[in-house]
Amino acid sequence: MRLKTKTMEWTGNSLRLLDQRKLPFIEKYVECRTHEEVAHAIKEMIVRGAPAIGVAAAFGYVLGFREHKNGDTKEWMKQVKETLSRTRPTAVNLFWALDRMEKVFFENLKNENLGEILEEEALKIAYEDIETNRAIGRNGAELIEDGSTILTHCNAGALATVDYGTALGVIRAAVESGKRVRIFADETRPYLQGARLTAWELMKDGIEVYVITDNMAGWLMKRGMIDAVVVGADRIALNGDTANKIGTYSLAVLARRNSVPFYVAAPTSTIDPTIKSGDEIPIEERRAEEVTHCGGSRIAPEGVKVLNPAFDVTENSLITAIITEKGVIRPPFEENIKKILEV
C-alpha cells in the first residue's frame, strides 16, 4: 500500500516530503531513503507540525529496519529509534508514533514478515491521522458560528499533518458544512508558519484569509473583530496545559481579556498521559539565526544575544475547550481528559 498527499508520499521505498522551508515560493519534494535522512528532515523542518513529524518518524523507523545488515536487530532498532527521537523534543506525537512502531517490532520479532508488518503499521498511523483530523473537524465545526472571523497561529493545517489539519481541519469542516468564515493568520515569527504556510494552504482551498503580524491580534480582539481563536498543539499535559508554537500563550491571555473563546484542536495522541502539568513539557530552543534574520536578510546587529524558544505553554485555565477526534473536552480538564483517554 502507498500513501500520497500534498505533504508526504510513501513510495514503498522512500518517504517524499514537501520541503516546507521553501514554501510558499517553491513546491519541491525531498526524498528520504534512510532513517537518518528522515531524522534530518524532521530536525531541519522540511517536515514539521506535531502529527506530521510523528508519521514521518514512523516511516523513518521502517526505513531503518530495512537498513539493518548484520548484528543484533534489537540493538540496531534501538539506535534507529534514538536517532529519530533526538530531532525535536516538544511534540509528543513523535515519541508516541515511535513507541507504537517499537511495540509492533517487539511483538513480531520472530515473524519473517516483520518488515511488511512495520510498513503496514506506519501506513496505519498515517491513514488514521487523516481520519482523526476529519473527526476533529466535525467536532470543532459545531463550535464555529456562521459568519465568524477566526484567528489561528502557526500552521496546524494539512501541512502539519498527513492531510486536512487539526485547527485548519476545524475551519475546513465549518466551510464544508456551509458556514461562512474568515481567517486571520498570525504571521508567527520567527519561522513565519502562518504567513508562509497557513496563508498558502487556505488560499489554495479558496478560504478567505488575512495575514496579520503577531502584534496585531490584541487590538483586533479589542475592536471585536475576532470571534474565536483556534490553534493546534504539540503536547497536552493531563491537566490540559498545552504546549504550542511560541506566541500561543500571549494569544490565550488576550483572548481571555477580551472574552474571545480560545480553542485547542488536537488528536488524543498529542495528550501526554505521563505528565501532570505543562511545567514538565520540554521546550525546544532553536538557532539564533531564525530571530536575527527574516527572509534570509539580517535584521538585528551582528553579535546580538538572542532567545529563541520555539514553543510556549498555555495553562488550562485560559483554554475554553480542547477539540479532539473523540469529542470536545471542557473543564475540569484533568477529570475530562482522563475520561476521554479511557474511551
| Dist. CA 100–CA 17, nearest whole Å | 22
165 sits in the region (left: phi over 0; alpha: psi -120 to 50; else beta) called: left
Shortest CB 75 distance to ligand MRU, Å: 30
Catalytic residue among 129, 163, 214, 234: 234
- 5 or 161, CB closer to ligand MRU? 161
Binding site for ligand MRU (CB under 6 A): 48-51, 91, 154, 156, 160-161, 166, 193, 232-234, 244-245, 310
- 105 or 314, CB closer to ligand MRU? 314
Shortest CB 166 distance to ligand MRU, Å: 4
DSSP notation for 28-97: -EEEE-SHHHHHHHHHTTSS-SHHHHHHHHHHHHHHHHHH--SS-HHHHHHHHHHHHHTS-SS-HHHHHH
- 244 or 292, CB closer to ligand MRU? 244
- 185 or 260, CB closer to ligand MRU? 185
Shortest CB 261 distance to ligand MRU, Å: 18
Grid coordinates given for 340: 476521554
Taking CB atoms within 8 Å and a gap of at least 24, the contacts of 142-146 are: 142/328, 143/170, 143/228, 143/261, 143/263, 143/321, 143/323, 143/328, 144/170, 144/171, 144/174, 144/179, 144/181, 144/228, 144/230, 145/179, 145/227, 146/178, 146/179, 146/180
Residue of 21, 73, 15 whose CA lies nearest to 39: 15
Shortest CB 133 distance to ligand MRU, Å: 8
Shortest CB 161 distance to ligand MRU, Å: 5
Burial (CB < 10 A; 0-12, 13-18, 19+), residue 98, is: buried
Q: Phi and psi for 65 in degrees, rounded to 5?
A: -60, -40
Q: State the residue number with the nearest CB to ligand MRU.
A: 232
- 156 or 175, CB closer to ligand MRU? 156
How many CB atoms sit inside 10 A of residue 26's CB?
8
- 119 or 234, CB closer to ligand MRU? 234
- 48 or 77, CB closer to ligand MRU? 48
The pairing of beta strand 29-32 with beta strand 15-18: antiparallel
| Dist. CA 242–CA 233, nearest whole Å | 6
Three-state DSSP class for 107? Answer: helix
Query: Would residue 186 show up in a list of annotated catalytic residues for this protein?
Result: no
| Dist. CA 229–CA 214, nearest whole Å | 13
Grid coordinates given for 53: 513529524
Shortest CB 225 distance to ligand MRU, Å: 22
Q: Which residues are catalytic?
A: 234
